[in-house]
Amino acid sequence: MELPPRNAGDQTLTAGELTDVRARLRRLAPKHDLTTVIACSFDHRTRILPFVFADVRMVPAGVRAVAAAMLDSGFEKTRIVLQHWNRNFDPSRMQLEGRTPDLFLISAMRLHHEPFLQLLRGVCRIPPDRRPLVIVGGPQAIYEPWTVFPDACTGDLVVTGEEYVLLATLERLLENRADGEPLRKTFQRVRDTGGLDDIPGLVYSRSDTPDGPPEELIDTGIQRLVYDLNEQAFPAPAYRVLEAPSNLPTLSSRPLDISRVRRYSPISSLVMTLGCKFSCPYCPIPAYNQRMYRVKSGRRIAEEIVSLRREFGIHFYFGADDNFFNDPAKTFDICDALVRTEIDGKPLRKCARIGTEVTVHDTLKMDEKGYLELARRAGFRALWIGVEDMTGQLVKKGQTPDKTARAFQRLREHGIAPMPMMMHHDEQPLLTPGKPVGLLNQVHLLQRAGASSLQVLMITPSPGSKLFERTYTSGMVFDSAGGRKLKPYMMEGVHVCASLHPQPWRKQLNILLAYAWFYNPLRVFRALRPGNRLGGIDAGVQALGMWGLVKTVRRLAGWTIRLMIGKIRRRRTPPRSRLPMRAPDGTKAAHALDGTPIAKTNAK
Ligand code: B12
Ligand code: SF4
């Protein structure tokens, strides 16, 4: 199920609303002296190709945006903890400024669910009267908010939206907080009198006893989106409040020294644009963005890069874009501003190397307009391109073998490395001699066209997408293979976990073979041939790819054997909420999947 749209005309915040709520909170903050810990969950078992390097070397933009918003709203006592770097972090032992924090925020992705539960269990060990208010957000919360209420140990509140929803909620709580009252208590009081019901983008639980097990979930609806991304807080301050990597369960007295930020996060994510005009049935992004394309101005992006480069020395940037070339005129504005920016007398492109995601179709459109040269001068050095299946058998978004090859060649001519992202599926064979249909045929074509890296994922159910429920009801999704249960961390797209192929192990081997075909010592030599303008990138990516392949084969060997000789059990129902869900007025909850139990008690 895709997230439902809000009514036309009521999809966005009014201009200035995000800026204004921060200004109002800045006035409220000094009276409340809140301490906040923001944790990001991460399962280290997901460390395989093709994400094996960037996954832990880039502070995720979600936690960073939330921390930046808190800091900018006057809540200076804030710390970010990444399970990526602090695997033993135990919230039951966290102390910030000598006390248990008032707020414990968690950002979670679906595949990191198990470490997320660890965080939840940790904070639940704090006695209820001293426990911080626990708020969960991020992709898992957006599409599957009920997962935050797995049993008696739960989060308090889910934000199914962006930073504005959190800030509006905090404002409401602080306006109603009695002197010295624990924030969690204020939350319970305001929640129980319906005081949060008019803030779209929240899910909370209702129970008959205070701190008793949840009995139903109340969903206040789909968030309103901030349209002008320039309203977001600047990211740099968030890098000043990172917990330093360690094996300790506790927090240190000071955050990571800023001189060491670049060492641990050599790549910085950049929010430049959000949304995409395509409508791939396995992708939740267009519906999440209410079919809108949101952008930051080029000038603002340039300011962010300048400050990150100056303060932390960060050289590499990765755009959190869904399709950066979605609207050539807007891309032009951004690139043009970056071209005109200097950092300490040098053009920005000499100090910042930028990568992001685009499509084949839009790359060719940019080329027709002559904008690829501009993108290179703006600092773009690598583009991850959603090629999926080149023949368009799986999804059609204007890609064909010829167009893909042309797009790749044009990018290379301009000194930009093409990084294809492919999607393998049941109908795609491994090899089709003479035809560009098989997976290896396509990988070979991409190599010849100049691909610098390779990503091959198997189609996997993606919450919030059109195909999500059908993938389950059709019996495609495995429950277990050879007695081994399918766990969330295995749903990264590399483990084959959804297939109707009579021999799904073949699909698994196909993916590994495609990587081995692409990442091998022979290709390192080819990358270093004289005259290859992108030889450095090509060779570096090959080295990382070979290292990642060894890790990937080790992790996948057991699963492949189970798929080969074990019995495969399948699921027939999607993972829905076990708790009844409803909107505050008793109507259907916006985030509930069809078939979710309906609350017995209707509106309060
Ligand atoms: C960049 C990116 C990556 C990078 C991440 C590197 C890093 N360390 O940051 C890389 C390339 C490594 C990556 C890999 C994968 N990714 Co990815 N990725 C993205 C992408 C394009 C941008 C993420 C981002 O930075 N967004 C910008 C920030 C600001 O947005 P945000 O994270 O949503 O945060 C906002 C809100 O969610 C909210 N929020 C977030 N946290 C919290 C916490 C609290 C308390 C509150 C109140 C609010 C809140 O406020 C934030 C500010 O507005 C998104 C798509 C998208 N457009 O979001 C997918 C996305 C996050 N990836 C996704 C997936 C599935 C993957 C992979 C499994 C690969 C795959 N099969 O597609 C792997 C997993 C790798 C791993 N081991 O973790 C999914 C997650 C789906 C889910 N339900 O969990 C997404 C959403 C794409 C999709 N399918 O829709 N990815
Ligand atoms: S092109 Fe990419 S971002 Fe756009 S809908 Fe398709 S998969 Fe999603």
> Can you tell me the mean pLDDT for 136-146?
98
Residue 604 has pLDDT above 60, yes or no: no
In the DSSP assignment, the letter for residue 242 is: B
Q: Which residue has the higher pLDDT, 532 or 197?
A: 197
- Using the atom order of ligand 2, give the atom closest to the CA of residue 284: 8
> Can you tell me the mean pLDDT for 62-91?
98
Write the CB contacts of 129 (distance below 8 Å, at least 6 apart in sequence): 182
DSSP3 helix / strand / coil % (the chain, rounded to 5): 40, 15, 45
Contact 360, 385 (CB under 8 A): yes
How confident is the model at residue 309, as a pLDDT?
98
How confident is the model at residue 316, as a pLDDT?
98
Q: Which residue has the higher pLDDT, 393 or 400?
A: 400
pLDDT per residue as tens digits for the range 9-44? 999 999 999 999 999 999 999 999 999 999 999 999
> Can you tell me the mean pLDDT for 116-131?
97
Going by pLDDT thresholds of 50, 70 and 90, the confidence category of residue 598 is confident
Going by pLDDT thresholds of 50, 70 and 90, the confidence category of residue 601 is low
Going by pLDDT thresholds of 50, 70 and 90, the confidence category of residue 472 is very high
Query: Distance between CA 587 and CA 496 in Å, rounded?
Result: 38
Task: Name the least confident of 49-58, 312-321, 391-400.
Answer: 391-400
Q: Which amino acid is at 396?
A: K
Q: List, as one string, the DSSP characters of 399-438.
A: --HHHHHHHHHHHHHTT-EEEEEEEE-TT--S--TTSTTS
> Can you tell me the mean pLDDT for 570-594?
96
Contact 557, 488 (CB under 8 A): no
Write the CB contacts of 369 (distance below 8 Å, at least 6 apart in sequence): 328, 332
Q: Which ligand is nearest to the CA of 384?
A: 1
- Using the atom order of ligand 1, give the atom closest to the CA of residue 65: 52
How confident is the model at residue 525, as a pLDDT?
87
How confident is the model at residue 208, as a pLDDT?
82
How confident is the model at residue 408, as a pLDDT?
97
Domain annotation for the chain: domains and CATH numbers: 17-227+578-582 (no CATH), 266-280+294-422 (3.20.20.70), 453-573 (no CATH)
Contact 558, 551 (CB under 8 A): no
Residue 539 has pLDDT above 60, yes or no: yes
Residue 602 has pLDDT above 80, yes or no: no
Q: Measuring from each residue's beta carbon to the nearest atom of ligand 1, which residues come in under 6 Å?
A: 46, 51, 54-55, 58, 60-63, 65-66, 105-107, 109-111, 135-140, 142-143, 159, 162-163, 166, 269, 271, 274, 284-285, 320, 322, 457, 462-463, 492-493
- Using the atom order of ligand 1, give the atom closest to the CA of residue 42: 78
216-219 and 581-582 beta bridge pairing: parallel
Query: Distance between CA 517 and CA 431 in Å, rounded?
Result: 12
What does the mean pLDDT of the chain come to? 96
Identify the CA nearest to 406 among candidates 439, 378, 365: 365
In the DSSP assignment, the letter for residue 92 is: G
Residue 600 has pLDDT above 70, yes or no: no
Predicted model pTM: 0.97
> Can you tell me the mean pLDDT for 263-281?
97
Residue 296 has pLDDT above 60, yes or no: yes
Q: Which amino acid is at 310?
A: R
Query: Distance between CA 300 and CA 323 in Å, rounded?
Result: 19
Residue 391 has pLDDT above 90, yes or no: no
CA of 109 from ligand 1 middle (Å) equals 7
CA of 577 from ligand 1 middle (Å) equals 22
Q: Could you give the percent of the chain with pLDDT greater than 70?
A: 99
353-359 and 316-319 beta bridge pairing: parallel
Identify the CA nearest to 528 among candidates 539, 514, 512, 513: 539
Q: Which long-range contacts (CB under 8 A, 24 or more apart) does 434-442 make?
A: 436/390, 436/391, 436/401, 437/391, 437/393, 439/510, 439/513, 439/514, 440/513, 440/514, 440/517, 442/387, 442/389, 442/390, 442/391, 442/401
CA of 321 from ligand 1 middle (Å) equals 11
> Can you tell me the mean pLDDT for 366-395?
92
Going by pLDDT thresholds of 50, 70 and 90, the confidence category of residue 603 is very low
Q: Which residue has the higher pLDDT, 394 or 484?
A: 484
Q: What angle do CA 264, 265, 269 make, to 5 degrees?
A: 170
In the chain, how long is the greatest CA-to-CA distance?
Answer: 76
